[in-house]
């Protein structure tokens, strides 16, 4: 049996805004909770050979804090843009509740949760377009999003998962992945064979480790959070309420 641990970054300083590829830091509570779950992983006997994160600060610092809690700061780490959060286009930086007031709850829900509805796109000459960010200078223009739906996120995150991460799991490497709500939802859709409708109902709690177990053919057997159902649901309810004033 093989295992892998996936963690959504801790709470950021922008919980009430569309963040996407904006490089926002973790809030103090995010740092605290993430370290706590690192300690819990160690207490439960988990250890890792390698770590993966997006190239966004909140994902990177979440991985650092988890490993700090486990005394595993020394393991090799890989940062991959393919694990980034979904790019929210022109919505990035906007307050979620105010966006609901402007565009309506149904439209914002489509932008947030649907599989194939993209938000309004960022123009290429906009300073906020990722082509102006030095961390993406090695990418071709057609690889950089101007605004993504979950399907777009799936099309970059899942191939990276299959081609880079899972072969290492097959080799017996113990791996932890720090990513984001939508990149993790894309991976879960793939692993669990979820429909486009079913994935709309999936929420990922902040910083609670999610464990996937696989058989010898790397087929998922089961997955579970390393927290009580009450802990998980409490965080998810907070996420659901982010569009409310």
Instruction: Give catalytic residue positions.
Output: 9, 85
Distance CA 119, CA 245 (A): 21
How do the residues of the chain divide into helix, strand and coil, expressed in percent and rounded to 5?
A: 45, 15, 40
Distance CA 216, CA 234 (A): 34
Specify whether the CB–CB gap between 178 and 5 falls below 8 A.
no
Specify whether the CB–CB gap between 33 and 62 falls below 8 A.
no
Retrieve residue 18's tokens.
């569309």
Specify whether the CB–CB gap between 67 and 50 falls below 8 A.
no
H or E stretch at 242: none
């Amino acid at each position: 049996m093989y295992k892998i641990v996936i963690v959504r970054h801790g709470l950021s300083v922008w919980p009430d805004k569309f963040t996407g590829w904006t490089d926002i830091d973790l809030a103090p509570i995010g740092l605290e909770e993430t370290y706590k779950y690192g300690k819990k992983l160690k207490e439960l006997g988990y250890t890792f050979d390698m770590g993966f994160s997006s190239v966004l600060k909140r994902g990177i610092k979440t991985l650092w804090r988890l490993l700090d809690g486990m005394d595993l700061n020394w393991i090799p780490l890989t940062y991959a843009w393919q694990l980034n959060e979904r790019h929210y286009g022109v919505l990035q930086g906007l307050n979620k509740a105010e966006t609901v007031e402007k565009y309506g709850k149904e439209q914002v829900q489509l932008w947030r949760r649907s599989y194939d509805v993209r938000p309004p796109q960022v123009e290429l000459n906009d300073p906020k377009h990722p082509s102006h960010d030095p961390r993406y200078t090695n990418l071709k223009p057609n690889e950089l999003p101007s605004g993504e739906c979950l399907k777009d996120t799936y099309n970059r995150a899942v191939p990276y998962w299959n081609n880079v991460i899972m072969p290492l799991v097959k080799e017996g490497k113990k791996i932890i992945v720090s990513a984001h709500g939508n990149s993790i939802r894309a991976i879960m859709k793939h692993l669990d064979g979820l429909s486009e409708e079913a994935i709309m109902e999936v929420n990922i709690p902040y910083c609670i480790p999610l464990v996937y177990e696989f058989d010898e053919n790397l087929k998922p057997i089961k997955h579970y959070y390393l927290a009580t159902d009450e802990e998980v649901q409490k965080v998810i309810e907070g996420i659901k309420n982010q569009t409310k004033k």
